[in-house]
Amino acid sequence: MPGFEVFGEEEKKQIYDVLETGVLFRYEFGEQRKGIHKVLEFERDFAKYCGAGYAQAVTSGTAALKVAMAALGVGPGDEVITQGFTFVATWEAILDIGAIPVFTEVDETLNMDPEDLKKKITDKTRCIIPVHMLGAMARIEEIVEIAASRDIAVLEDTAQAAGGTINGRHLGTFGDCGTFSFDSVKTMTTGEGGMIITSDEKMWRNMSEYHDHGHDHVVNPGGRGGEGRSFIGFNYRMMELQGAMGIAQLAKLNAMIESQRANKKRLKAAAAKIPGVKFRTLVDEQGDTATFFAFMLENREQCRKVNAVLGDNGAGAINFSENSWHFYPSWEHLHNGSTLAASGWPFAEPGGKRRVVYDPELLPESADILSRTLVFPVSIKMSDEQIDTICSALGKAAQAI
């Protein structure tokens, strides 16, 4: 999964370009920057790579979600639907913008279940955020169709699936916009960083201004100081060192994905020998970024047994129903409404009335699926020895059940 495995001369050269000018800010600094605009160049490269009209760089994948929702007009009084299997960042951003997160089940794609989505839409639904979890695609075409028929925006949280595609079309380009994360453990990384892509020029301009305190960006990059403001914003600006890293990492993304696919193929062949095993449903296997390998057993008991054998043989897998950062029932701070705000916001209104209460038992289908799913992270430079260890542990598990 992590792009740090392939840091090399290309990243050094890019960073060196920035240090030579001494300009870390993406805007201004006229002559001193010697024509170098790394963040801008990264945005253009990224938009082109994805086949999107525009890209807006920001400080993180979480900020990308927030900036995108701001541009979609999301705020208090709105509901935003996402899936109960995602990283906490997805719903943190929804609460932070003042809206209420509503959670759907996941199906065997390990992503949003479109049937459950239909049931969760209300008059208050302003936006739907399917997440392309663990490197692979949600049923995004069905989700976009459901949303379009009700005139609701779709934001694709593509933090874990940069470079993923369906029939050659990039994830993040199906909805109104797509967001990405380049944090330290993502497939391509800038240390911290994020991106939003869209083909809507107006939306991009609004994101560009919002992420930069509302500075008028009629000319982008614009002059600063004398220009006006159309609305309030915030600061989510990416810096030049991150842009420089992004240029070098994006150029390696396809090669990283290729290696992961080759490694994943070997793990899959070994796991296929387990009686009754099923693999995660992939809408388009060709477009999987292969950052993870997920497979399902028949039930929870069998899953535990298999993972015990894997563990005894030096290759324990992740069971996300036991991972507290990615699955709804274990988010105790969400269920308890824990917040630093004295008023209880965002879980309570000023005055103390709860805006929303979550039932930890809300998602039984997801709980069932995740309780019998095992996951191996797939990295770029897995050694033969590492792969052999996992494959031989899978072989032992196949014999044990």
Ligand X SMILES: *Cc1c(COP(=O)(O)O)cnc(C)c1O
Provide the binding-site residues for ligand X, judged by CB under 6 A: 60-62, 86-87, 89-90, 131, 157, 159-160, 181, 183, 194
3-class DSSP state for residue 340? coil
Three-state secondary structure along 345-379?
CCCECCCCCECCCCCCCCCHHHHHHHHCEEEEECC
CB-facing half-sphere around the CA of 284: CA atoms within 13 A: 17
Closest distance of CB 2 from ligand X, Å: 12
- The catalytic position among 66, 186, 264, 268 is 186
Nearer CB in complex with ligand X: 176/192: 192
In the complex, which residue's CB is closest to ligand X? 61
Sign of CA dihedral 197, 326, 341, 153: positive
- Is 186 marked active-site? yes
Closest distance of CB 304 from ligand X, Å: 26
Closest distance of CB 223 from ligand X, Å: 30
Element (H, E) at 34: none
Closest distance of CB 146 from ligand X, Å: 21
Give the single-character DSSP code of 264: H
19 backbone dihedrals φ, ψ, rounded to 5°? -65, -30
Nearer CB in complex with ligand X: 172/194: 194
Q: Is the peptide bond before 221 cis (omega within 30 degrees of 0)?
A: yes
Of 25, 22, 48, residue with least CA distance to 37:
25
Nearer CB in complex with ligand X: 62/289: 62
Rounded CA-CA distance 67/33 in Å is: 27
Nearer CB in complex with ligand X: 174/306: 174
Closest distance of CB 291 from ligand X, Å: 10
Nearer CB in complex with ligand X: 116/183: 183
Of 239, 248, 183, residue with least CA distance to 11:
248
36 backbone dihedrals φ, ψ, rounded to 5°? -90, 120
Nearer CB in complex with ligand X: 111/208: 111
Nearer CB in complex with ligand X: 57/296: 57
Closest distance of CB 392 from ligand X, Å: 30
279, β-bridge pairs: 295
Length of the chain: 401
Q: CA separation (Å) from 225 to 28, 32, 301? A: 10, 18, 64
> Residue 138 corresponds to which tokens in the numbers above?
């949600």
Element (H, E) at 40: helix 38-50
Beta strands per DSSP E along 186-235? 194-198
Closest distance of CB 356 from ligand X, Å: 20
The catalytic site residues sit at 186
